[in-house]
Amino acid sequence: MSRHIKIWSFADVDRGGKVRWTANELGYEIEEVRLKLGEQTSEPYRQMNPYEQIPTVELDGHILLESAAICQVLAERHPEAGLVPADRETRDLFWQSVSLSNTTLEAPVVQYYLSKAGFIDPAWAELWAVPLGKRLAVFAHSMPAQGYICDDFSLADIFAAYVLRIGVQAGLLPFEGGLESYLRNLMARPAARAARFFDSLDTT
């Protein structure tokens, strides 16, 4: 089982960042192919990913889709890294946080951000502003002031960081205050820096 992964993505800020961060935590050599907007609909790419989304990954000769699933595949290949907790009680909290990030929050926060940035219909921002703001605030408030969601670092932190970072960039969450200490702890991780995960976040 090699530690080489090929990732098709758009930019540092997209969902491929979760895969890059996870792969860096596990010591993978990363080969990255950057697509231009629209190239995800081209026939060569559609043969790999008929959903016309990013990221797409090639791992040991297999094509994998969906960023959260890819991260979980990588984590389960290397249980010694502890990116998915082994303890049952801790796993309960882990899966709750993972579902909140990837199911409840990620799609609307991305839609809100893209809508505010002018990439999609502005009606999306109007639709999500109030309910999303409330949910993100609750989620941000649940983050630990020190340490990680499940005591030890895990995929739950990578997934949470993605939606929290976009929430801050979209103006739905303040960086300062209780959230800052949690995010700065993640920003200090060498794998996060190598993945350029937080480079787009203005913390000045």
- Rounded Cα distance between 34 and 56, Å, is 11
- Going by C-alpha positions, the residue among 79, 52, 54, 77 that lies closest to residue 67 is 54
The residue ranges of every structural domain in the chain are 4-81, 88-194
The answer to whether residues 80 and 28 touch, using CB atoms and an 8 Å cutoff, is no
Which tens digit of pLDDT belongs to each residue from 50-84?
Answer: 999 999 999 999 999 999 999 999 999 999 999 99
DSSP symbols for 94-111: HHHHHHIIIIIIHHHHHH
CATH number for the region 88-194 comes to 1.20.1050.10
Which tens digit of pLDDT belongs to each residue from 130-167?
Answer: 999 999 999 999 999 889 999 899 999 999 999 999 99
Homologous superfamily assigned to 4-81: Glutaredoxin (3.40.30.10)
CA 94 to chain centre: 15
Q: Check whether 202 has a pLDDT greater than 90.
A: no
- Torsion 128-131-137-140 (CA) sign: negative
Which tens digit of pLDDT belongs to each residue from 16-52?
Answer: 999 999 999 999 999 999 999 888 999 999 999 999 9
Which tens digit of pLDDT belongs to each residue from 91-114?
Answer: 999 999 999 999 999 999 999 999
